[in-house]
Amino acid sequence: MEEVKEGLKGKFVHLHLHTLYSALDGAIKIEQLAENLKANGMDACAITDHGVMYGIIDFYKTMKKKGIKPIIGSEFYISPGSRFDKKDHYKQGDDTNYHLVLLAENNEGLHNLYKLSTIGFLEGFYRKPRIDKETLRQYSNGIIALSACLGGEISRKFLKEGYEAARNAALEYDEILGRGNYFLEIQENGIPEQKIVNNQLIQISKETGIPLVATCDSHYLNKEDYSSHNILMQIQLGQVGDEKRKPRLKPVEAGKEVKLEARNQSEGDVNGYLAREEDLDDLSRDTSDTLDPAIMHSRSGKMDYSSMLYVKNPDEIYNDFSYCLEAVENTVKIAERCNVSITFGVNHLPQYEVPEGYTLESYFRELAEEGLKKRLEKIPEEKHSIYWERLKYELEIIIMKGFDAYFLIVWDFINYSRKNNIPVGPGRGSGAGSLVAYSLTITDIDPIRFKLFFERFLNPERESMPDFDIDFCIRGREEVIKYVSQKYGEEKVSQIITFGTLKPKNAVRDVCRVYNTPLVEVNKLAKSIPDGPAITTFKKAYDADPELYSRFENIEHGAEIRKHSENLEGAIRQVGMHAAGVVIADRPLVEYAPLSKGPKGEVIVQFEKKAAESVGLIKFDFLGLKNLTIIDEAVKRIHATVDKDFDVNHLPLDDEGIYDMLQRGDTSGVFQLESTGMKSLLKRLRPTVFEDIIAANALYRPGPIESGMLDSFIKRKHGEEEVSYAFDELKDILEETYGVIVYQEQVMQIAQVLGGYSLGAADMLRRAMGKKDKKEMEHNRNIFLYGDESRNIPGVEKLGKDVQKASDLYDLIDKFAGYGFNKSHSAAYAYVAYQTAYLKLKYPKEYMSALLSVSIDNIDDVVKYIDECAKMGIKILPPDINKSFYDFRVEGEGIRFGLGAIKSVGQAAIESFILEREKNGEYTSIYDLCDRMDFKSAANKKTIEAFIYSGTLDCFGKSRHQNICVYISALESAASRAKDKEKGFGSIEDFLSGEKEEFYPDVEELPAKELLSREKEILGFYYSSHPLREYNKYIETFSEDMELINGMRSEGEVVVAGMIKSIKHHITKTKKEKMAFLELEDTKNSVEVVVFPKVYADSLMHLKEDNIIAVKGIYTPNHEDDTGSITARKIMTLGQALEDNTGSLKITLDTDKSSPDRLFQIKTLISRFKGSLPVKIEFIIENKYRVLMGVSDEFCVCPETEFLELLKKVPGIVDIEFIPADERSYIRNENEMIDTWSIA
């Protein structure tokens, strides 16, 4: 054993370590790591996540806070050749990349790491972000490199090519980095191949003088976390239960290749990198570098994960590396060399270029003042002084804080949008509270009219940047971002990364999937876990629901699932792009952060939002809002055909018709008001003023609903509950919400009026209340009641108010503060809701056609809105090749179906047909269509087939069956003629009369059932009819409405009938029994049905797609998405359900249209479908008398669908009706008699 040098005894620094930011690979939580290091006396540590630098800011701040030196690094991927070489080396048996650990020695090194990481993504990405030796040489200053694990080039070269190749590779890296900056990395991880490699690395070190370093390649914190990390790896690879799909590491001999194979990956990079489309691998493709080789080792040919990759303490390290203590000592020496300092709190906002003759301040003031003058044109003059005073106040604060450039940047890109007809939302978030923003037309909500506060947006008493959230039309958002990139420089503008982490609910689902827990049990457990933005940890979930802990015992392996779920909480599940965030800097972004690439080639900052902001990058939120696109499309249609002067941005907010519509819950297609739950709320609330819509938006959330706030609000509005105010001063604040504290702004006002707070201080109080810190709440109670001279807050007592009443009020505020909503945001979105409601009511065809067109890619929405059109009396005209366009268009009193909603037909193909039609006239037949088809477009035989089955070619006057019989030959002939024409030849028809013979076989139309089935296959729904439609009148006699069921807020027993839209069969894990999940649909809605094994076994013969069934069971709502599921207790055919739930079948027979033998036809049918439902026959005699006769008990029926279909075909039968069981009298007038009659 070597002797440890004085001063280094017991010291060791981890220089190769993977945190949670090595997505689905590293399992080390940074906060816990810092505590572990501190407890074990380690005063420095490195972060080296795979190929990325996502977590360095989190790591740096946490380590600094704990008094531990942070060493910034990454385990890079090195391309064997050029980073631009994107060939699939693995297919040729070559290595795709090598691992190399790079550490920043100083700030120059840190910025070189930023550049290298950026190059890896923007230039070298091929399944991984890769650099090459050329770039490493170029940016090697200030960097220390370690040779990495078994995936490093030295290890790979030795195992594949032998000692000499490894030695030469080591010397090359040593030359690139410079002597003393490159270290050979030895590890003790229990892998047999590692032992062999270690010996060779030590030998290379002796021969070349390249120093050694000892590392752990840590992937999890504690040794006992090994099994949870194992689960994490299985989640990464999509492994389920006992599937033998673990990565395989083939046992090797010295000098042979180590190759890893990982199957069943999801698309893209399993470590969560943002892969470009061209880099996506086939789902089944093997990769040689998916997983860190150190994660796995072989034992007797069976693969397992290494259990040695935890954060070892110094004693363990010295024991492991007793044969080479210099490698341990070198970790300390490297740590001493690494001194990086990251600057926080300095904003890097670009300078806004103002016109000549202006300063930034003068230009900003002028724009705001001129803008307010225009706004005041529509506001009574006696109120103008209030606006000018508010504007002056806001301008002073904005300019004092140096945010005028920020406002101008936002104004500039919104101004660009408006000039280029890109719709912009009226506001979003707290920004709607700024009058300056309203004056600059950044927002369109008057903050003074709606009592919105500037301080809620920009608090004078807090040092924080303003943060505008801007909604754009989804079709114009990217154009605005492109404009910003061009204006400030593409290298200074990027979007922001975001991480999908495992919260309790998702962690349980993922771990249960690995254990192959039955889905129904998983859903039951997961749905019982408290949810919401505040429930980020299992501790918070257990606090919210103490019984949750014990509920894990109800499932197999429950204790293990709970343990692993808790351990993996917070793990990064996937990496994506922030939905809205764009950063704009004064210098190239790579100087402040590493960059990566999005799925469509977007440049993305590797730091998440808070980390990016902390290093001074200013975020602007560009959100895409579909409803702005819908409004814009509707307005264009109105301008084109109805009213060219219509202005959707200046609507009267007191239109009674709008409120009548809202009170009816007639809000399908209305922004934010169309869910089943919201419709129910509107019917109860019966809104009468715009403020009610604002409140509905704010109250329809779990907190206000569960706390009773919503119910109280509704009762008070309708005079069913007394409205009272603890202090008279509160009336002005709370009157519009009937004494209920609904908004955060009301909390601020109460603090201002009763406690003497400034609005800035009141906003600080509001924030503190939201945190629910008991100690902090008591501290703030004292300030509220007794004041704080240092902050110039007098308090309730000094203002002469009743302290006890104020203390009670404080408790009430505290209770509801967590549920309070941002009124600025609610008001802005209420206006968008009002706009859509107005358009739907006043311009129904134009609005619904726009709604359908923008929703054209979402078949569920298309179906929903087509049904809404039917309710509104708007006819949806069928698809027609001579009249339809890509989108839905108003035509006469109806809306013509858009061809873009047809499956299997692309936009390019559709537009080629429309272009030809507009150029050369309508098509006359399927032959004409094929002749004029552009074979170079995306159109093909599937296109024509889809047109036929969707009814698009019905306009030619031939049956669909006839068109199907001839379309292939028509296409082949047309294609042949097109080729001849290209070659300059004429077709045989050209030499004859010029008339092309069109042949159609004399065939019957396809059966109605097949036509509907094909129609649904192509359109995604039944258009011309629905198989259930002919049975609806029977179903309605016993079945509950699916829409009402889906709107149920509590559990209850239901009976519902419908058609099986889809079915998923499942096998339970414990007893290996069969069960199923059904999607049951009626003509408008659908509901999930869970069929457990016993019911499944009893009803298996009925469980087929397109079968009509009835279900009796218990409905359980899912409050997350206004849906739920029915647990089936009994499944019946339609006939069985009618038997069980109605009193009798009544057949009405017109004797004038029938003959005596028809009775025997009926008798024969009843005998064939014997059951228990009594039959009564009503005779219509001479179109004057009605006689109702009961058939003898031996002729009772089970009225299955086949029976009903056959019965309808009996001549003379004019009606078939099912009579409810409790309806006793069947005599409708004095001419009607009843008797019993036997047809035996």
pLDDT at 212 over 50: yes
Assigned CATH class of 503-569: mainly alpha
Q: 580 CB contacts (<8 Å, ≥6 apart)?
A: 469, 621, 622, 623
Mean pLDDT over residues 816-826, rounded? 84
Token pair belonging to 885: 């366009």
3-state secondary structure 565-627: HHHHCCCEEEEEEEEEEEEECCCCHHHCCCEEECCCCCEEECCCHHHHHHCCCEEEEEEEEHH
pLDDT at 258 over 50: no
Mean pLDDT over residues 497-518, rounded? 86
**What's the pLDDT score for residue 269?**
33
pLDDT at 1001 over 60: yes
Confidence at 957, pLDDT banded by 50, 70, 90: very high
pLDDT at 909 over 80: yes
Strand partners, 104: 143
Confidence at 257, pLDDT banded by 50, 70, 90: very low
pLDDT at 1238 over 90: no
3-state secondary structure of 996: coil
**What's the pLDDT score for residue 374?**
96
- Per the CB < 8 A criterion, the answer to whether 205 and 213 are in contact is no
* pLDDT, tens digit, 9 for 90 and up, residues 857-888: 998 899 889 989 988 999 999 999 999 999 99
Mean pLDDT over residues 386-402, rounded? 96
Q: 1051 CB contacts (<8 Å, ≥6 apart)?
A: 1114, 1115, 1116, 1117
Confidence at 526, pLDDT banded by 50, 70, 90: confident
Q: Where in the chain do CATH 1.10.10 domains reside?
A: 503-569
Q: Is pTM beyond 0.75 here?
A: yes
Mean pLDDT over residues 130-138, rounded? 96
- Of the two residues 496 and 1187, the one the predictor is more confident about is 496
Assigned CATH class of 1029-1138: mainly beta
Strand partners, 218: 17
**What's the pLDDT score for residue 1086?**
85
Mean pLDDT over residues 1016-1029, rounded? 85
Q: Out of 187-191, 202-206, 813-817, 1097-1101, which region has the weakest mean confidence (pLDDT)? A: 813-817
Confidence at 994, pLDDT banded by 50, 70, 90: low
- Per the CB < 8 A criterion, the answer to whether 894 and 875 are in contact is yes
Confidence at 985, pLDDT banded by 50, 70, 90: low
Comparing CA positions, the residue from 550, 556, 546, 545 lying closest to residue 521 is 556
- 3-state SS of the chain: helix, strand, coil percent to 5? 45, 15, 40
* pLDDT, tens digit, 9 for 90 and up, residues 572-598: 888 889 888 999 999 999 999 999 998
3-state secondary structure of 1177: strand
* pLDDT, tens digit, 9 for 90 and up, residues 1156-1206: 777 888 888 888 999 989 988 888 887 766 777 776 777 799 999 889 988
Residue 542: phi, psi to the nearest 5? -70, -35
Pick among 2.30.29.30, 3.20.20.80, 3.20.20.140, 3.40.190.10: CATH of 30-337: 3.20.20.140
Average predicted confidence (pLDDT) for the chain: 86
**What's the pLDDT score for residue 1149?**
84
- Of the two residues 530 and 423, the one the predictor is more confident about is 423
**What's the pLDDT score for residue 326?**
96
Q: 1234 CB contacts (<8 Å, ≥6 apart)?
A: 1187, 1188, 1189, 1190, 1226, 1227
Spatial distance between the Cα atoms of 780 and 1235, rounded to a whole number of angstroms: 83
Among all chains, which residue has been given the structure tokens 């701040």? 61
Spatial distance between the Cα atoms of 171 and 179, rounded to a whole number of angstroms: 10
pLDDT at 675 over 80: yes
**What's the pLDDT score for residue 986?**
57
* pLDDT, tens digit, 9 for 90 and up, residues 696-754: 999 998 788 888 889 999 999 999 999 999 999 999 999 999 999 999 899 989 999 99
pLDDT at 288 over 60: no
**What's the pLDDT score for residue 1219?**
87
pLDDT at 138 over 50: yes
Q: 132 CB contacts (<8 Å, ≥6 apart)?
A: 78, 79, 81, 82, 83, 124
Token pair belonging to 448: 């003074």
Spatial distance between the Cα atoms of 512 and 510, rounded to a whole number of angstroms: 5
Q: Where in the chain do CATH 2.40.50.140 domains reside?
A: 1029-1138
pLDDT at 96 over 80: no
* pLDDT, tens digit, 9 for 90 and up, residues 315-370: 999 999 999 999 999 999 999 999 999 999 899 999 899 999 999 999 999 999 99
- Of the two residues 1234 and 667, the one the predictor is more confident about is 667
Mean pLDDT over residues 448-466, rounded? 89
Mean pLDDT over residues 658-675, rounded? 95
pLDDT at 853 over 70: yes
Spatial distance between the Cα atoms of 981 and 550, rounded to a whole number of angstroms: 77
**What's the pLDDT score for residue 94?**
57
